[in-house]
Amino acid sequence: MKILVIGSGGREHAFCWALSKSKKATKIYCAPGNAGTAQVAQNVDIGTFDFDGLIAFAKAEGIDLSVCPMDAPLVAGIVDAFQVAGLRIFGPSKAAAEIEGSKAYSKDFMRKYNIPTAEYGVFNSLNAAMAHCETSKFPLVIKTDGLAAGKGVIICLNMADADEALHAIFTDKKFGASGEKVVIEEFLDGVECSVLAFCDGTSVVPMPGAKDHKAIYDGDLGPNTGGMGVITPNPQYNEEIATHCMEEIFLPTMEGMRKEGRPFVGVLFFGLMLTSDGPKLLEYNCRPGDPETQALLPLLETDLLDITQACMDGNLDKLEILWKDNATCCVMAASGGYPEHFETKYPISGLENINNGVLIFHSGTKYVDGKLITAGGRVLCVVAMAKNLQEAGKIAYEAIENIHFNDIYYRKDIGV
Ligand code: AMP
Ligand code: GLY
């Protein structure tokens, strides 16, 4: 089978890598890809929003399966566009992707189907939102309705924070159209857990629980990033909690989406907060997480290509999905200054010193004149696998010390 993976980050590199191990995969393309995807796939210079260009390429090359792990093209309807063109693509429809594309929609959905989540209200004007905050208990969380590249969630400790956030959203329009509405919700205290699940519209098969590290600095300090490292399994997500989440969150979600006429096919990401009052759902993402995917796919025993087919054919219940009984630790090497200002185009060295068994997935890298250079805030991640988390962490940190580029920055406490 010829496969096209759409995107250019570490998650897409991990998808290309996992799909390339399938005996049924004859050729893999990645659009537009990066220097890492070029090792396991052929990069094609087409942008992720150029649906016409991607469809024309898929038709001309006789692509049998396309895979889109990126949220924005999914929310914009890439799956519908491919399907109308008669092409097979793994991912949710535009209607199903709204579960991430609109926070107001997803919160109303959770309420309608009794899925445990933070109490909330939806507001579409500065005055209404301010009035709500004035009578609420702090801390509270203000979220822009639409996608905001991970920046649309503001935790407010007091009214001054809320005032600033709401003016940035409604008066200064800092978040553009994604801030036309806001969700304001209660702050939940607890331990976060990311659960990614394969879905075929009816069945849901969760992957092992993962723990992301969103803050830029050790000890979870500083501003949030796309994710600075992941460990899996998440030590706090035990079997009892997993069973509870299946019954109270995962299955009701699948059934609710079906009832709404928007069956979810693809990988659904449940952002959970494990609170003293039980697990609660913070959010859905309509795609696998980054870097959760880089930490999870190396543990997968079953052919990823078979899983995508079973999801698209509605046969997921007939496929046994097996995982290695191991732990992984994934540490992200970033450009100094990320998530704010940072420089790129620095040469990267030392990858040849990485031992076999440690995987490197590229997030923001490029080849220029045959030289590997940095090309983004998050640059590459190192994934180590071992019998337990402690060992995996040790191997990942030994490996990352071999990698060099100007201003390299990584957290020192992933899984430690
Ligand atoms: P989201 O974009 O919804 O994933 O939110 C980003 C991050 O903000 C989450 O991973 C949490 O760390 C935090 N967050 C979101 N909602 C809440 C909440 N209701 N209570 C506490 N923290 C939250
Ligand atoms: N790592 C969090 C996310 O992908 O949303």
Q: CA–CA separation, 150 vs 160, rounded Å? A: 22
Ligand 2 pocket residue status of 91, Cβ below 6 Å: no
**Low-confidence winner among 150-154, 170-174, 322-326, 333-337 (lowest mean pLDDT):** 150-154
SS3 154: strand
Query: Looking at ligand 2, which atom is closest to the CA of residue 227?
Result: 1
Confidence category of residue 145, pLDDT binned at 50, 70, 90: confident
For the CA of 285, the nearest ligand:
2
Ligand 1 centre to CA of 273 (Å) is 9
> Which of 15, 74, 269 for a ligand 2 pocket mutation test, highest count of atoms within 8 Å of Cβ?
269
Average pLDDT (238-260) is 98
Half-sphere exposure of 82 (CA within 13 A, CB side): 29
Report the percentage of the chain scoring pLDDT > 90: 90
282 lines ligand 1 (CB under 6 A): yes
How far apart are the C-alpha atoms of 126 and 168, rounded to whole Å? 10
The closest ligand to the CA of 286 turns out to be: 2
**Region of poorest pLDDT, from 45-54, 171-180, 321-330, 387-396:** 171-180
36-39 own/partner pairs: CB under 8 Å, 24+ apart: 36/10, 36/360, 36/361, 36/362, 36/365, 36/380, 37/5, 37/8, 37/12, 37/13, 37/362, 38/367
- Pocket flag, ligand 1, residue 151 (CB < 6 Å): no
Q: What average pLDDT score do residues 348-354 get?
A: 94
Segment 255-296, tens digit of pLDDT = 999 999 999 999 999 999 999 999 999 999 999 999 999 999
Report whether residue 188 contacts ligand 1, using a CB cutoff of 6 Å. Answer: yes
Q: DSSP string of 30-64?
A: EEE--TTHHHHSEE----TT-HHHHHHHHHHHT-S
Residue to probe by mutation, ligand 2, list 194, 283, 330, 363, most atoms within 8 Å of CB: 194
- Confidence band, pLDDT 50/70/90 cuts, at residue 400: very high
> What does the pLDDT read at residue 150?
63
Interval 300-325 mean pLDDT: 98
**Atom number in ligand 1 closest to CA 212:** 10
Q: Whose CA is nearest to atom 3 of ligand 1?
A: 283
d(CA 34, CA 30): 8
For residue 285 and ligand 2, the question of a CB distance below 6 A is answered with yes
How open is the CA angle 415-366-216, to the nearest 5 degrees? 30
**C-beta neighbour count of 135 within 10 angstroms:** 6
89-90 and 229-232 as β-strands: parallel, antiparallel, unpaired? unpaired
**Which residues, including other chains, have CB under 8 Å from residue 41's CB and lie 6 or more apart?**
5, 16, 20, 28, 29, 30, 33
Q: How far is the CA of 9 from the centre of ligand 1 (A)?
A: 23
Q: What is the b/e burial string over 295-317, where b = at least 16 CB atoms within 10 angstroms of the residue's CB?
A: bbbbbbeebbbebbbbbbeeebe
Query: What pLDDT band is residue 102 in, cutting at 50, 70 and 90?
Result: confident
Instruction: Report the atom number in ligand 1 closest to the C-alpha of 143.
Output: 3
The answer to whether residue 147 scores a pLDDT higher than 90 is no
pLDDT higher than 80, residue 103: yes
Host H or E run for residue 332? strand 327-335
Pair of tokens at residue 168: 């940035």
Summarised one tens digit per residue, pLDDT across range 362-375 is 999 999 999 999 99
What average pLDDT does this structure show over 95-103?
91
pLDDT band at 178 (very low <50, low <70, confident <90, very high): confident
Q: Ligand 1: distance of its center to the CA of 153 in Å?
A: 7
Note the pLDDT of residue 223.
86
Reported pTM: 0.95
As a whole number, mean pLDDT of residues 184-191 equals 95
In what helix (H) or strand (E) does residue 217 lie, and over which residues does it extend? strand 215-217
SS3 per-residue string spanning 109-142: HHHHCCCCECCEEEECCHHHHHHHHHCCCCCEEE
The protein residue whose alpha carbon is closest to atom 5 in ligand 2 is: 289
pLDDT digit string (tens) for 107-136?
A: 999 999 999 999 999 999 999 999 999 999
Supply the residue whose CA is at minimum distance from atom 16 of ligand 1: 282
Q: 139 preceded by cis ω (within 30°)?
A: yes
Query: Quick check: helix, strand or coil at residue 408?
Result: strand
Tokens for 398, please give them.
């030994």
Atom from ligand 1 closest to the CA of residue 285 = 4
**Predicted local distance difference test score (pLDDT) of residue 357:** 85
